[in-house]
Amino acid sequence: MGRLDEVDLSHSLSREESEKRLSALQERLLALRLVLAGLRDGGHLGPPVCVLFEGWDASGKGGAIKRLVAPLDPRHVRVAEFAAPDATAKRHHFLWRFWPALPGWGGFTVLDRSWYGRVLVERVDKLATEEEWKRAYGEIVEFERMLTSEGAVLIKFWLHISSDEQLKRFEARANDPLKSWKLAPDDWRNRGQRELYTQALEEMFERTDAKHAHWHIVAAESKHYARVHVLETVNGEIERALSHHGMKLPEP
């Protein structure tokens, strides 16, 4: 039994209930974001917040990110998307290309994919040598410890769906002219390697889950439930960080 086996995928919410809860959570996030940005509490900047999204293809990362950033002024949040490293990135250490996207004090960044590609797709597809991806666990742990020791709030999400649900979503995308662009040949190939990815994921959770950088595994079979879960988690982590730094929380 691994961590993914322990996830209860039966969690669900109706569209009506999720929209009601999302509205309240987004309003709360907006108030918290103003405190982080130094626009309240006497102008003091809050800690950097970095929200990292990983998950199965078609698990709903884009929809969760959309709901997360929806209430925020575009000047107060940055969304950075990472695909396979290009030729320039390959000339550097694998963590090099992520530095420019990281938030400073008062900043808020959302990462759509991240440095975990080294121990997932690069491992499974043999784009990194065994020595490289095995070494990466320790490098990632130290990297995240360095960020959080400087005060950063690092919130890591894995959006989890079953194989059957993934197939259902793939087929729906393939049959929708407005969504078919989201489905690439690599998605089908990755689906065929789900067992290898599951093995890589379980080792990733085991080796990189830490008190300062915990993995939040989200049951995403219901997109409505997953989006609410993400907002609740982000708000809770920000509130804890603000309290830790002695900053006044906005009124509920």
Query: What is the set of domains in the chain, with CATH numbers?
Result: 4-243 (3.40.50.300)
91 Cβ partners below 8 Å, 6+ apart?
A: none
pTM higher than the cut 0.75: yes
The CA distance from 136 to 123, in Å, is: 10
* Residue-wise pLDDT tens digits, 108-149: 999 999 999 999 999 999 999 999 999 999 999 999 999 999
Whether the pLDDT of residue 1 is over 80: the answer is: no
Strands 108-112 and 78-81: parallel
Residue 242: C-alpha distances to residues 77, 127, 128, 237 (Å): 17, 40, 39, 9
* Residue-wise pLDDT tens digits, 194-204: 999 999 999 99
What's the gap between Cα 208 and its chain centre? 14
Helix or strand holding residue 52 (H, E): strand 49-55
* Residue-wise pLDDT tens digits, 137-196: 999 999 999 999 999 999 999 999 999 999 999 999 999 999 999 998 989 999 999 999
